[in-house]
Amino acid sequence: MRIKVRDALAAESPLGGITVSGWVRTRRDAKGFSFVEINDGSCLRNLQAVVDHAVPGAEALGTVLTGASVSVDGELVPSPAKGQRWELRVSAFRLVGEADATFPLQKKGHTAEFLRTIPHLRARTNRIASSLRLRSRLAMAVHEFFQARGFAYVHTPVITVSDCEGAGELFRVTTLDPAAPPKSPDGSVDWAADFFARQAFLTVSGQLEAETLACALGDVYTFGPTFRAENSQTSRHASEFWMIEPEMAFCDLAGDMDCAESLVKHLVRAALECCPEELEFFNAYVDKGLLERLRLVADRPFTRITYGEAVDLLLASGRPFEHPVKWGENLQSEHERWLTEERFGGPVTVCDYPAAAKPFYMRQNDDDRTVAAMDVLVPGVGEIVGGSQREERPERLEAAMRAHGLDLEAYRWYLDLRRYGTVPHAGFGLGFERLLMFVTGEGNIRDVTAYPRTPGHA
Ligand code: 4AD
Ligand code: MG
């Protein structure tokens, strides 16, 4: 019976007649037997197999190098070695697939930069495998959070015709031949001849569609891939990333912030509870302050300030920021990090941003210059959540859409929500990779994504 290394290491008592299959991390030879460290990806730790040179199949041992795949039968017995409770006393050894000395992960301690050059193999390292296991577990925890609160999981389209964030950072979806597209009489590309009979794009956010579903189902959430053709070469931006977007009917900005903060706390607690070995690993090798920071976040309330208060604090800090702080401009990453890392030493939720810096759909505040927006900022990463209460008043929304230069006819369906049974509603987007950066202490989004897509790299 094949069992996973994770289950073997968690055994309560010795187990006979088991099979363990995985990849060889190291082999050490002694007189008459060899030690083979097997990792099958089910957990961080390896299982040590002790192979007597007299057992069937042991003659292959000489060619068993780091990276080879093996399958071994044997008995799980208490290990005399330090630091491990169990080892496998092998009764039959099988080399499944050889790996020769060119296997690039021979030694421990490769740099993250080197590992990025071998995305197809790097998941066999503790660092990437740990981050992928955390990612899997936290994806489940996202669903647990919303399902326990009665939210419906909805799937908004990946191919869309609207630019939710209005930043024009869309990837085009077309079947036209770029070298010879059909032309209209005026010489421009005839998009009516394209696959969808109009221009289409990959979505930057499922929000607008999620709003329509929230105004039917009450509370909904999406969790899926989003795409941004934003040419920013930073450690926190990817061209393809996963976003969690809840949308709640009969909810205001305060309820929105409550939900976002609870979700972040829930995910941090889930990581601490479900992946302690992985977090110990990141704490030891990637970010020494990680565990302490995560425990604080799980226990303490988040600081809440308005954008105006944030600007005042930044101006009073006396810091020579690269981007000067000015009321009306969006906060830059260096400003966000000063607030969370230096001023408050923990997560900060900032609300009521200037309208001019934000998209058309945010609810206008009574001061006529700010909107009911909120961002959650965390140490080490900066913004991980962006959200708002939505403008539910039809005249106000129409005016904002005009001011943003939108074609009202194309957004008729969105305006219909305000015409038929409009309700106050709010939502946010949590960048899944940004959250994973926070939970692992990884400083680069490329290292919490199996196959990162960034400008110039796919
Ligand atoms: O602040 P953003 O642009 O908000 C929206 O898209 C809203 N429509 C969400 C909503 O209200 N339903 O993006 C939300 C989050 C950011 O806070 C950040 O965590 C992440 O998505 N994000 C990115 N993550 C990785 N790479 C990028 N290029 C990202 N852009 C945004
Ligand atoms: Mg944002």
Please identify, by atom number, the ligand 1 atom nearest to the C-alpha of residue 384.
19
Supply the pLDDT for residue 293. 95
C-alpha to C-alpha distance for 221 and 239, rounded to whole angstroms? 22
- For residue 246, what is the enclosing H or E element? strand 240-249
Ligand 2 centre to CA of 175 (Å) is 31
Supply the pLDDT for residue 162. 87
Supply the pLDDT for residue 204. 97
Question: Over its length of 458 residues, how does the chain's per-residue pLDDT go in tens digits?
Answer: 999 999 999 999 999 999 999 999 999 999 999 999 999 999 999 999 999 999 999 999 999 999 999 999 999 999 998 989 999 999 999 999 999 999 999 877 899 999 999 999 999 999 999 999 999 999 999 999 999 999 999 999 999 998 888 888 999 999 999 999 999 999 999 999 999 999 999 999 999 999 999 999 999 999 999 999 999 889 999 999 999 999 999 999 999 999 999 999 999 999 999 999 999 999 999 999 999 999 999 999 999 999 999 999 999 999 999 999 999 999 999 999 999 999 999 999 999 999 999 999 999 999 999 999 999 999 999 999 999 999 999 999 999 999 999 999 999 999 999 999 999 999 999 999 999 999 999 999 999 999 999 999 99
| Superfamily of domain 123-169+204-447, CATH level 4 | Bira Bifunctional Protein; Domain 2 (3.30.930.10)
CA-wise closest residue to 422 among 207, 213, 249: 249
The matching CATH number, chosen from 2.40.30.10, 2.40.50.140, 3.40.50.12780, 3.30.70.1380, for 5-97 is 2.40.50.140
Supply the pLDDT for residue 355. 95
Please identify, by atom number, the ligand 1 atom nearest to the C-alpha of residue 388.
11
Ligand 1 centre to CA of 383 (Å) is 9
Ligand 1 centre to CA of 279 (Å) is 25
Ligand 1 centre to CA of 428 (Å) is 9
The residue nearest atom 5 of ligand 1, judged by CA position, is 429
Supply the pLDDT for residue 167. 81
Ligand 2 centre to CA of 171 (Å) is 19
CA-wise closest residue to 157 among 195, 215, 218, 207: 207
Residue 423: which residues within 8 A CB-CB, separation 6 or more?
215, 249, 250, 392
Residue 169: what residue type? E
Ligand 1 centre to CA of 128 (Å) is 24
* Phi-psi group of 452: left, alpha or beta (phi > 0 → left; psi -120 to 50 → alpha; rest → beta): beta
Q: Contact at 8 Å (CB) between 3 and 18?
A: yes
Q: Classify strands 33-39 and 47-52 as parallel, antiparallel or unpaired.
A: antiparallel
Q: Which of 205, 239, 432 to mutate to test the pocket of ligand 1 (most atoms within 8 A of CB)?
A: 205
Query: What residues are in contact with ligand 1 under a 6 Å CB criterion?
Result: 164-165, 205, 207, 228, 230, 237-238, 241, 243, 245, 383-387, 427-429, 431, 433-434, 445
Tokens at 325, concatenated? 């702080």
C-alpha to C-alpha distance for 204 and 125, rounded to whole angstroms? 32
Give the residue extent of every domain in the chain. 5-97, 123-169+204-447
The residue nearest atom 25 of ligand 1, judged by CA position, is 237
* Phi-psi group of 187: left, alpha or beta (phi > 0 → left; psi -120 to 50 → alpha; rest → beta): left
The residue nearest atom 21 of ligand 1, judged by CA position, is 431
* Phi-psi group of 273: left, alpha or beta (phi > 0 → left; psi -120 to 50 → alpha; rest → beta): alpha
The residue nearest atom 1 of ligand 1, judged by CA position, is 386
The residue nearest atom 4 of ligand 1, judged by CA position, is 386
Note the pTM of the prediction, 2 decimals: 0.97
